[in-house]
């Protein structure tokens, strides 16, 4: 693959004097702030696999352009306001950040960042035959995949006094799009032996919200920090694999993985210097994680097909549907530490740690394991429970 690049940019630079703060009085009372905007663009001439070029360099093959960087700062009575970011069209690369720093009370910032990751849809190649496993003729179409990642965030630190810090951070992240999978489907077109060269793909749909809140109190000899974290994730992903395309046993496999996770965490940490030679610290943390599972693996004539008991599969095509279940985890952790400085060369540090964790889970699903050519029988349901001290007796599989 041969590639030629072309990239240009133009910068406009300004200082605070050019933005209405000129004059001897302004120069004497306020710092000089730099402000600028940079506009640029570029492109590439690709001779070869354009999708591989996008994946390797992270650049759009059709070219890109826009605001490559900008910064604007303004001094206020009690602090500084700053905005920065960039916006590159076709690259799908965007960033906008707003921040205010107070001279004594803390700061606040918020913004949005988004970017795209490309991946090549091509499969492997068999040198002897020159056969390439490509998806264009195998059902998914297109010649590249694109996965967009986006984050909305806000964060603030408030210091009502010199002895108190209050901190809050909220973020919401998204992943949406397609990406290549490291798994590959089989084909018999590479006779005398079958090869796994048919590419597979992920259809990604994920979102996550995280909230962090903590407070710190301090005095001359002691510090106390308490914190709470809420973390919620919702994932609905599907993996597409095609086996033996354009053959008698052509099968499209859709594996859907659905996971909802709800995490709650609280902790407290305290440190106390009793005297010049004795230092005491203690901490406690409590965490709960609730996970809900869902999904299926279905073999059909096309991707995202409904389960068809008459569809012919091979003996090792193990499938399932209507998967439901989840896990529940609770954890307690306590630490207690004492440090005693005997002299300038010896330190004694006795420590105590207690941890207790409980976990349990349950999953149910309908099996669809039938051998090709056989009359399909009734599906079966299985349930599995996992406890902290090992699996409890499981109930036998029963016909659905």
Rounded to whole angstroms, the Cα distance separating 134 from 140 reads 9
Check whether 241 has a pLDDT greater than 80.
Answer: yes
Let me know: does 112 contact 151? Beta carbons within 8 Å.
Answer: yes
Take residue 399 and report the two structure tokens written for it: 């016909």
Take residue 379 and report the two structure tokens written for it: 């599906």
Residue 331 lies in a domain: no
| Residues pairing with 207 in the sheet | 174, 234
pLDDT at 284: 98
Residues 308-363 pLDDT 10s:
888 877 777 889 999 999 999 999 999 999 999 998 899 999 999 999 999 999 99
Residue 246 lies in a domain: no
User: pLDDT category, 217, cuts 50, 70, 90?
Assistant: very high
Cβ contacts of 87-95, under 8 Å, gap ≥ 24: 88/64, 89/64, 89/65, 90/60, 90/62, 90/63, 90/64, 90/65, 91/58, 91/59, 91/60, 91/64, 91/115, 91/116, 92/60, 92/116, 92/146, 92/148, 93/64
**More confident call, 383 vs 13:** 13
Residue 147 lies in a domain: no
Residue 62 lies in a domain: yes
Share of the chain above pLDDT 90, in %: 56
Quote the number of domains for the chain: 1
Highest mean pLDDT among 22-36, 57-71, 258-272: 258-272
pLDDT at 22: 43
Place of tokens 């954890």: 331
Q: How far is CA 3 from each of CA 50, 53, 63, 119, 120, rounded to the nearest angstrom?
A: 9, 8, 13, 17, 16
Check whether 38 has a pLDDT greater than 70.
Answer: yes
Rounded to whole angstroms, the Cα distance separating 307 from 317 reads 13
Residues 85-106 pLDDT 10s:
999 999 999 999 999 999 999 9
* Angle at the Cα of 327 from the Cα atoms of 322 and 329, rounded to 5 degrees: 170
pLDDT at 10: 57
Let me know: does 351 contact 358? Beta carbons within 8 Å.
Answer: no
pLDDT at 177: 94
Residue 39 lies in a domain: yes
User: pLDDT category, 140, cuts 50, 70, 90?
Assistant: low
pLDDT at 394: 45
Total-model pTM: 0.80
Cβ-count burial 338-351 (b if 16+ within 10 Å, e if not)? ebeeeeeeeeeeee
Structural domain of 79: 1-103
Residue 341 lies in a domain: no
pLDDT at 51: 82
Average the pLDDT over 258-276 and give the result: 96
**More confident call, 98 vs 33:** 98
Rounded to whole angstroms, the Cα distance separating 104 from 74 reads 17
Check whether 47 has a pLDDT greater than 90.
Answer: no
Burial of residue 146, with CB atoms counted within 10 A of its CB: 0-12 exposed, 13-18 middle, 19 or more buried? middle
Rounded to whole angstroms, the Cα distance separating 201 from 96 reads 31
């Amino acid at each position: 693959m041969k590639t030629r690049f072309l990239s240009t940019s133009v910068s406009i630079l300004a200082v605070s004097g050019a933005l209405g703060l000129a004059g001897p009085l302004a120069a004497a009372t306020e710092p000089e702030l730099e402000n600028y905007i940079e506009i640029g663009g570029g492109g590439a001439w690709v001779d070869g696999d354009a999708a591989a070029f996008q994946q390797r360099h992270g650049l759009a093959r059709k070219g890109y352009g826009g605001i490559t960087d900008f910064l604007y700062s303004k001094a206020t009575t009690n602090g500084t306001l700053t905005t920065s970011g960039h916006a590159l069209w076709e690259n799908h690369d965007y960033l906008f950040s707003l921040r205010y720093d107070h001279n004594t009370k803390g700061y606040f910032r918020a913004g949005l960042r988004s970017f795209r990751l490309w991946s090549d849809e091509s499969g492997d190649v068999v040198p002897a035959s020159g056969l390439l496993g490509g998806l264009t003729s195998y059902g998914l179409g297109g010649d590249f995949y694109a996965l967009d990642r986006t984050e909305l965030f806000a964060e603030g630190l408030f210091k009502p006094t010199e002895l108190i810090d209050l901190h809050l951070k909220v973020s919401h992240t998204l992943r949406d799009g397609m990406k290549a999978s490291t798994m590959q489907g089989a084909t018999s077109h590479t006779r005398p032996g079958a090869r796994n060269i048919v590419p597979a793909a992920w259809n990604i749909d994920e979102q996550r919200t995280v909230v962090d809140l903590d407070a710190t109190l301090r005095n001359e000899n002691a510090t106390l920090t308490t914190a709470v974290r809420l973390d919620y994730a919702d994932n609905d992903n599907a993996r597409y694999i095609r086996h033996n395309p354009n053959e008698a046993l052509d099968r499209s496999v859709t594996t859907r993985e659905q996971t909802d996770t709800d995490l709650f965490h609280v902790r407290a940490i305290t440190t106390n210097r009793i005297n010049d030679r004795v230092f005491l610290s203690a901490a406690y943390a409590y965490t709960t994680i609730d996970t809900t599972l869902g999904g299926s693996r279905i073999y059909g004539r096309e991707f995202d097909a409904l389960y068809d008991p008459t569809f012919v599969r091979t003996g090792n095509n193990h499938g399932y549907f209507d998967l439901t279940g989840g896990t529940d985890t609770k954890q307690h952790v306590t630490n207690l530490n004492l440090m005693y400085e005997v002299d300038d060369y010896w330190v004694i540090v006795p420590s105590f740690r207690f941890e207790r964790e409980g976990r349990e889970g349950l999953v149910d699903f309908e099996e669809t394991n039938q051998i090709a050519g056989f009359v399909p029988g009734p599906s079966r349901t299985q349930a599995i429970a996992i406890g902290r001290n090992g699996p409890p007796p499981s109930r036998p599989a029963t016909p659905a």
